[in-house]
Structure 1
């Protein structure tokens, strides 16, 4: 073997080895691409995917599709070739990893947050749907998290509605915090709560905050909770998390309890967070979700107003409709049933 041949062979081997290393080395990015859709009116394992008990329900027709984004999992890594492929392909995005998964947060913590956001989204969606249908909804300050080893651990649980503190009614999260702050560190605090429709009265002894030893805390996180008569069950894959399906959950509940067939045989998809008052908020991955809806055969896609700048100029056969509230979404779907009114429905252009 000549010197030149030997040099060429060694160079080729080094190139192959370097290419292999580069192709397997993880990069600090994640990929977003079109995910699957879920028809909320399609049964799963013989049971309704959205099940409403304790209220009169009505038949629905058509498809109401929850949309998702396929994202690099928190416990997986993206390689350089995968990142480049996602960058160049349509309906895909590459984002810095710490934008999607904050540094220093464990996989279990990320998953717990996703599950909590999904639970809150479903609760807000039901409240918004019931209100849109004219049914009673009552707001309470609600426990959404309990710190391990805190005074509240074992006494209070996520989902508890706080009715009173020291036998005095509290009507908001601010009221609860103010009532706790009236105590000294170490004082017992009497909570009156509603749990699983039963009233309980646990006593929790406060401790000093880590940030301020003179500040009394009991180790709970709070948010607005909603109480209503019907019991609503969502049978959704545990792999789907986050708050972005709120609008579609609300529409599903509303269509079930409304005598009018809102979807009326059409294939409707959409996305957006929702508050208990029915305000629709923007989300990430809108173009990927539209691509998923298009692949599933949807003819209408409900776009949160905040996401309209993200879809301008997008080429898709799906009709993109702008919505800012649940009531707007309902009115829009009603208008699109009638050719005489469909022309006034606003898109994102």
Structure 2
């Protein structure tokens, strides 16, 4: 074998080896593909997804399916061939890994964050649905954390509802902070609270605020919670994470709590976060959720207005893409489509 032939052969082997290594080494991306769908008016693990206790419910007809995205697990890696195949599949997507699993966050921390978002989404969806159905939903100030070795340790607990400060009813977090900080540092602050459904009065000796010596502090963090007039159980638990099922939960709950069948036998799917006041927010993975909804037999898909451009650019699989900015938009469109499947409603096309 000549030197030239030997050199070319060696180079070829090296190139082949490098290509093989490139194909075997993971790339810094994850894949997103259609995940399972769940009918929020149906059952999950032999239990109703939404279980209402203490209020009258009405028969429903049809399905309203929440849609999900299946993402590469945090402990798995995507190879170059897998990334290329997913990129070429119109129902899948390839995104930078750190967008899904931020640097420094463990898989367990990501799971816990998604579970917390789902819990929050469930509560705001319930508030939006109940308000639209004519029920009163009350916003309350809550203790979210108590500082260790602070003046409230052993006196207050996370989850306590703060009702009053020195006899003044509490109407919001900013007002509560002002009432406490306006007290004389070192004085006793009388707090009206509700814990485990029972009201009580707690006295806390304040401290001087480290930011302003003229103001008092009691060593707690405050947030807001929502009080519903009856109990609603969401039996999905933490099997699905994130906030994007909020709109679908709200539609399903509203259908249960109001007379008439909102869906009239249709299979509807959707996605979108929702606030307690009914604003619908954009989410990720629309392309994959449309594909999953189509596989589940949906003919209508509720799309947050902020995702309409993305949805319109993707394959709609023959579904009607209904544009919604608020919960009222969703209900109005579904009522019209129930009366006439060809009715004119806002769409993403």
Higher mean displacement: 324-333 or 27-36:
27-36
1:330 equivalent to 2:344? Answer no
1:115–1:241 CA contact under 8 A, matched in 2: yes
1:229 equivalent to 2:250? Answer no
Q: In the superposition, relative to structure 1, how do residues 184 and 136 fare at CA in structure 2: closer, same or farther (>3 Å)?
A: same
1:162–1:194 CA contact under 8 A, matched in 2: yes
1:305 equivalent to 2:273? Answer no
Query: 2:97 is matched with which residue?
Result: 97
CA distance in 1, matches of 2:105, 2:309: 31
Query: 2:162 is matched with which residue?
Result: 162
Query: 2:135 is matched with which residue?
Result: 135
Q: Alpha-carbon deviations, 1:56-112, whole Å to 9, x = none?
A: 011212111011111223444333333333222212222223333333333333222
1:62–1:266 CA contact under 8 A, matched in 2: yes
Q: Alpha-carbon deviations, 1:240-297, whole Å to 9, x = none?
A: 1111111111111111111111122110110111111111111111121111101111
Query: 1:45 is matched with which residue?
Result: 45
Count, aligned residues: 345
SS of the aligned residue for 1:70 comes to strand
Higher mean displacement: 133-142 or 172-181:
172-181
CA distance in 2, matches of 1:147, 1:20: 56
1:138–1:227 CA contact under 8 A, matched in 2: yes
CA distance in 2, matches of 1:343, 1:240: 33
Cα deviation for residue 40 of structure 1 reads: 1.4
CA distance in 2, matches of 1:94, 1:149: 44
Higher mean displacement: 176-185 or 117-126:
176-185
CA distance in 1, matches of 2:297, 2:242: 24
Unaligned runs of 5+ in 2: none
Cα deviation for residue 334 of structure 1 reads: 0.8
Higher mean displacement: 241-250 or 169-178:
169-178
Query: 2:145 is matched with which residue?
Result: 146
CA distance in 1, matches of 2:148, 2:108: 18
1:220 equivalent to 2:218? Answer no
Cα deviation for residue 329 of structure 1 reads: 0.8
Q: Alpha-carbon deviations, 1:118-137, whole Å to 9, x = none?
A: 11111111111111111111
Output the TM-score relative to the length of structure 1.
0.85
The structure with more radius of gyration: 2
CA distance in 2, matches of 1:233, 1:305: 29
SS of the aligned residue for 1:315 comes to coil
CA distance in 1, matches of 2:153, 2:94: 40
2:287–2:315 CA contact under 8 A, matched in 1: no
Higher mean displacement: 53-62 or 183-192:
183-192
Q: Alpha-carbon deviations, 1:27-73, whole Å to 9, x = none?
A: 33332221111111222333211100010011212111011111223
Q: In the superposition, relative to structure 1, how do residues 95 and 48 fare at CA in structure 2: closer, same or farther (>3 Å)?
A: same
Q: In the superposition, relative to structure 1, how do residues 4 and 344 fare at CA in structure 2: closer, same or farther (>3 Å)?
A: same
CA distance in 1, matches of 2:81, 2:121: 36
Cα deviation for residue 164 of structure 1 reads: 2.1
Query: 2:124 is matched with which residue?
Result: 124
CA distance in 1, matches of 2:346, 2:201: 51
Output the TM-score relative to the length of structure 2.
0.85
CA distance in 2, matches of 1:153, 1:75: 39
Cα deviation for residue 192 of structure 1 reads: 3.1
Query: 2:267 is matched with which residue?
Result: 267
CA distance in 1, matches of 2:344, 2:196: 45
2:121–2:246 CA contact under 8 A, matched in 1: yes
Unaligned runs of 5+ in 1: none
Q: In the superposition, relative to structure 1, how do residues 27 and 165 fare at CA in structure 2: closer, same or farther (>3 Å)?
A: farther
2:155–2:202 CA contact under 8 A, matched in 1: yes
1:146–1:153 CA contact under 8 A, matched in 2: no
1:150–1:219 CA contact under 8 A, matched in 2: no
What's the C-alpha RMSD, in Å, of the aligned pairs? 3.1
